[in-house]
Amino acid sequence: MQRIFSGIQPSGVPQLGNYLGAIRNWVNLQSGHECIFCLVDMHAITVWQEPEELRRHTLTQAAILLASGIDASRHILFNQSAVSAHARLAWIFNCVTRLGWLNRMTQFKDKAGKDRENHSSGLYVYPNLMAADILAYKATRVPVGEDQKQHLELTNDVAQKFNHDYGVEFFPAVEALIPPAAARVMSLRDGTKKMSKSDPSAQSRIELTDDADTIAQKIRRAKTDADVLPDDPAGLESRPEARNLVAIYAALADMSIQQVLDTHKGQGFGPFKNALTEVVVNAIAPIGQETSRLLKDETHLLHTLRHGAQRAQAIAEPIVSEAEKLVGFLR
């Protein structure tokens, strides 16, 4: 059975893009794969996190994953910092990766913007930690949103260079599993920017804990143009906000863009937003309700994460110890 590694940063409350680009896919992959689901708190602190907020977001995120259908009794759910193998392998990869590779990473450029000098070195070497997350388990399949494709290419480059440098076939090749529908969900305020849990504007995203009224209000206020919906996808090409709303509808209703347009062509955004609200509320509101219920028992959530960390450690420890031996570290 192939092993899957999936990570999500507890840097805020997961949003609809995390759900459509990642979580929903993870739930489906559980049958037929051995899955490791990781709350990547070490990645989260590459940008500043208030400690109490990080703690709260990690627990909320664990609850959201369970509420979305992640089965922590059959698969592994834990927080990254609880398993030291990630940090140890990441350091080795910091010494394998070339600076030129990191300089090409678009996520660093997007996050750091023009103010590179003032960002943490952790943000810069983030892709090496991500490679370590995956390869510490020799996972071969990684379900991610389209925005993470470049990081997975770097993971393969690091694995190959490690194997080449140390003259062994130790780390396997990794395959990105990118969901076809709504691979990248865009901000509700700007159709050219991806929806993000740390965007300063809460109006830009639908959070998985939003209730029905909040969802309706955010969709009502979503930026749109003045035109009606076209009758084929080509008519959405230069309309990023319209295209985003139609893509969200299609992904949640399990329809193609064409099927959504067949039903809604010629409509203005007033009626379309009402229809979209219904689809989003049906998919998201039950997750929010179950999350609130789970968050009432913090002890149980902590126990689930600790148990997951023990099982993750049991897989990663021998792999990372072997990598350390290959490098020449004394034991």
Binding residues among 22-61 for ligand AQP as defined by CB under 6 A: 22
Q: Shortest approach of ligand AQP to residue 18 CB, angstroms?
A: 4
Q: Which of 53, 147, 190, 324 binds ligand AQP (CB under 6 A)?
A: 147
Which is the catalytic residue, given 109, 138, 197, 296?
197
Q: Shortest approach of ligand AQP to residue 259 CB, angstroms?
A: 21
Please report whether residue 64 would count as binding ligand AQP according to CB under 6 A. Answer: no
Q: Give the list of residues 6+ apart from residue 15 with CB closer than 8 angstroms, or none.
A: 185, 195, 196, 197, 205, 206, 207, 208
Please report whether residue 127 would count as binding ligand AQP according to CB under 6 A. Answer: no
Please report whether residue 130 would count as binding ligand AQP according to CB under 6 A. Answer: no
Residue closer to ligand AQP, measured from CB, 15 or 60: 15
Which amino acid belongs to residue 29? L
Binding residues among 191-250 for ligand AQP as defined by CB under 6 A: 194-198
Active-site annotation holds for 197:
yes
DSSP, collapsed to helix, strand or coil, labels residue 273 as: helix
Please report whether residue 184 would count as binding ligand AQP according to CB under 6 A. Answer: yes
* Distance between CA atoms of residues 40 and 89, nearest Å: 15
Active-site annotation holds for 114:
no
- Would you list the DSSP string of 65-125? HHHHT--TTTSEEEEGGG-THHHHHHHHHHHHS-HHHHHT-HHHHHHHTT-GGGS-HHHHH
The kind and range of the H/E element at 38 are strand 34-39
* Distance between CA atoms of residues 163 and 168, nearest Å: 5
Q: Shortest approach of ligand AQP to residue 222 CB, angstroms?
A: 14
The residues annotated as belonging to the active site are 111, 194, 197
Q: Please report, in range form, the residues annotated as the binding site.
A: 9-11, 17-18, 133, 145-147, 185, 194-198
